[in-house]
Structure 1
Amino acid sequence: MFLVQLVFSDEAGRAADLMDGHNQWLREGFADGAFLMAGSLQDRKGGAILAQAANRQEIEMRLAADPFVAEGVVKTEIIAFRPGKVDPRLEFLLAGD
């Protein structure tokens, strides 16, 4: 599992022009089952995604397809982690461990 932060760069002013493509990329990630949650960082600093992928390379390839990433509007930080404890409503996240 991966927590991905998409932090706006100095190119953040270009985000509006790329928003449709970014939203389409998010829809595809949810449709593929790779994205479990996505949302905005507070204070409009970017966004965050909870994602699942077989490995880091897979998530890096998916991120490279995001227009925000490809055009340098955001910088990414990828944090890999394995859920160990979850609220009962999220037990599906432990599947496969």
Structure 2
Amino acid sequence: MFIVLLTATVPAPGNGEAARRLMADHNAWLAQGFDDGVFQLAGSLRPVAGGAILVHGVSRDEIEARVMADPFVVGGVVTPQILEVAPARSDARLAFLAA
């Protein structure tokens, strides 16, 4: 399992225009990750600081390649950080993440 942090490279409003320009493509990239069953959760970091994605079911190489294709990463709007988590305990509702 991975947690991907997408940290804004320049605090808003500094990169606001670039983010707005790339938002539709970034949202399409997110939708593809969900459609592929790879992304489990995505959301914004508060206050406006970037985003986070919970990823499951792929290798580190696969998630690195996917993240590097994010239009926000390509456009320099965010800097990615990929954290690998080895689940040891979870609520029963999240047992699939420990598999």
Structure 2: gaps spanning 5 or more residues: none
TM-score (norm 2): 0.89
| Deviation of 1:62 (Å) | 0.2
Counterpart pick for 1:84 among 82, 88, 99: 88
**Deviation sequence 1:11-69 (CA, Å, 0-9, x none):** 62210110000000000000001101110001010000011243221111001111000
Deviations along 1:59-83, one digit per CA (max 9) or x if unpaired, are: 1100111100011100011101111
Greater Cα offset, 42-51 or 3-12:
3-12
SS at match of 2:47: helix
Find the partner of 1:51 among 47, 50, 55.
55
Rounded Cα–Cα distance in structure 1 between residues aligned with 2:89 and 2:43:
22
Asked if 1:8 corresponds to 2:8, the answer is yes
SS for the counterpart of 1:44 is coil
- Answer with 71-80 or 3-12: which moved more: 3-12
TM-score (norm 1): 0.91
Conserved? CA contact 1:2–1:53, under 8 Å: no
- What count of residue pairs does the alignment treat as equivalent? 95
Aligned to 1:62: 66
Q: Specify every segment of 5 or more residues in structure 1 that has no aligned partner in the other structure, as ranges.
A: none
User: What one-letter code is carried by the residue in structure 2 that aligns with 1:7?
Assistant: T
* Alignment-derived partner of residue 34 in structure 1: 38
Amino acid in the other structure paired with 2:2? F
- Letter matched to residue 37 of structure 2: G
Write the letter of the residue equivalent to 2:41: M
Distance 1:89 1:52 in 2: 15
How much identity, in percent, do the aligned residues show? 49
The residue identity in structure 2 corresponding to 1:47 is G
Report the aligned-residue RMSD. 1.2
CA distance in structure 2 between the partners assigned to 1:61 and 1:38 by the alignment: 18
